Amino acid sequence: MPEANSPAPLLLTHPREGDTVSFVWHGDRFVHTVRLGSFSVASESADSDPTWPTSPPIQQLSIETLGGHPVALGVGGAGQSHWSLSVEPTTDGFLFDCACRVKQQPGWLGSSYPTQPGLSILAHDGSVIRQDEAGVRIEPSPVLSDAGTYRWKYEIRPS
């Protein structure tokens, strides 16, 4: 059930029926769940460090039509940093394009998901994937060392 005065949930649909990304308000940001066929995975929302969260802290989100297809566009902030996110359907799944503008060396930046059999997460354009028993983390590359804007892109699709 949505929290009082929280933004309404939003749904990004794929041209392939049944495949979606749903965005639901949780605490002070949107979290999302990707559904592809009978498989789904949700972004991690438990943050032990409010300045460097485990996934982009998106507080404003809309579904727009760009190039004839729906795209989710979002922005948010934590600490002194500002995040942006776009999510769009691809042939096989959904492409996530994330960025963060930081004023100091980041403690950590990226997106996090629990490991989910049946789904693959593929890094795009200067991003790296790290996987361990805790789950999957998609991070910008090269290694974070200074203030500036960092970007990471990845696709979630069936295995």
Per residue in 59-106, pLDDT (tens digit) is 999 999 998 999 999 999 998 899 999 999 999 999 999 999 999 888
CA torsion angle for 65, 155, 84, 45 (degrees, to 10)? 120
Specify the higher pLDDT residue, 105 or 112: 112
Helix and strand numbers, DSSP H then E, in the chain: 0, 13
Give the tens place of pLDDT for each residue, 114-149.
988 899 999 998 899 999 888 999 999 876 778 899
Q: Is it the case that residue 2 has pLDDT exceeding 60?
A: no
Residue 47 located in a structural domain: yes
Distance between alpha carbon 21 and the CA centroid of its chain, in Å? Answer: 10
Q: Is residue 50 part of a domain?
A: yes
125 in any annotated domain: yes
Number of separate domains in the chain? 1
What local confidence, expressed as pLDDT, does residue 25 receive? 94
Classify residue 5: in a domain, yes or no.
no
3 within some domain: no
Range of the structural domain that residue 64 is part of = 10-158
Asked if 129 contacts 138 with a C-beta cutoff of 8 angstroms, the reply is yes
Residue of 34, 35, 29 lying closest to 83 (CA atoms): 29
pLDDT given at position 47: 67
pLDDT of residue 73: 98
Nearest to 58 by CA among 19, 89, 93, 86: 86
CA distance 132 to 103: 29
- Average confidence (pLDDT) over 18-22: 96
Is a pLDDT exceeding 70 seen at residue 151?
Answer: yes
Question: Is residue 1 domain-resident?
Answer: no
How far is residue 105's CA from residue 96's CA, in Å, rounded to a whole number?
23
Sorting pLDDT into bands at 50, 70 and 90, what band is 155?
very high
